[in-house]
Each structure stands twice: as structure tokens, then as C-alpha cells.
Amino acid sequence: MTSRREFVVQLGVGATALLAGGQVFAQAMVDEKDGQAAALGYKADSSKVDGKKFAAHKPEQNCGNCALFQGKAGDKAGACPLFAGKNVAAAGWCSAYAKKG
């Protein structure tokens, strides 16, 4: 489980990367085995999240309704500042999930 402090640090790192690189156009999909993805427990299909390891995960949570998701409503994938330069699946999930709104 990611602590609030870790989440804020990760968010800051992602924002810094976006500012340093200008506007990022994400094209490639995040690989679940990527170091950052594995550390955050990212799964492209939120129904495959290990519920024992990530007890905070709820079935209704996914990247598409996360505050960090930069795609439009209805997009199958979109950018996420935690994975600069790559898309995440809207149906995905990671431990940095933060509900929109």
C-alpha cells in the first residue's frame, strides 16, 4: 500500500518530468513488468489486481476514473504522469489510484 507521503512524492516526480519535457505525447503502453509499474502494482486489467497484496483496491476503481488519468472520458487508454511518455489502460489500476473529484 502506498502511503500518502509516497503518493505526493510520486506525483511531484511525475509533474516535474512533464514540466521538464514540455508537453508529452504518450504513445506506448506501460508494461506491467516495467520497474515503476511493478513497484506500484499496475495491472492493465483492474480485475487482475492481487486483492491480498493491495487490500485498498476496490472493483470500481480503475485508471479511467483516477484523478491522474489524462485521457478523455470513454478513451481506452491515456497518459498518466506517473508513467511519463506512456499510456495506461483505462481499465487498469495501480496503488497510486486517487478518485476523481
Mean pLDDT of the chain: 86
Q: Is position 69 within any domain?
A: yes
Q: What percent of the chain has pLDDT over 90?
A: 70
Residue 94 lies in a domain: no
How many domains are there within the chain? 1
Establish if 48 belongs to a structural domain: yes
Quote the CA–CA distance of 59 and 47 in Å, as a whole number: 7
In eight-state DSSP terms, residue 44 is S
Q: 37-65: per-residue pLDDT in tens?
A: 999 999 999 999 999 999 999 999 999 99
Query: What is the CB-side half-sphere exposure of residue 83 using CA atoms within 13 A?
Result: 33
pTM, two decimals, is: 0.73
Q: Are 91 and 46 in contact (CB under 8 A)?
A: yes
Is the residue at 83 inside a domain? yes
Q: What CATH number is associated with residue 44? A: 4.10.490.10
Name beta bridge partners: 87.
Answer: 29, 79
- 97 occurs within a structural domain: no
Per-residue pLDDT of 83-94, as tens digits, reads: 989 999 999 999
Pick the range with the lowest mean pLDDT from 19-23, 61-65, 67-71: 19-23
Domain of 38, in residue numbers: 4-89
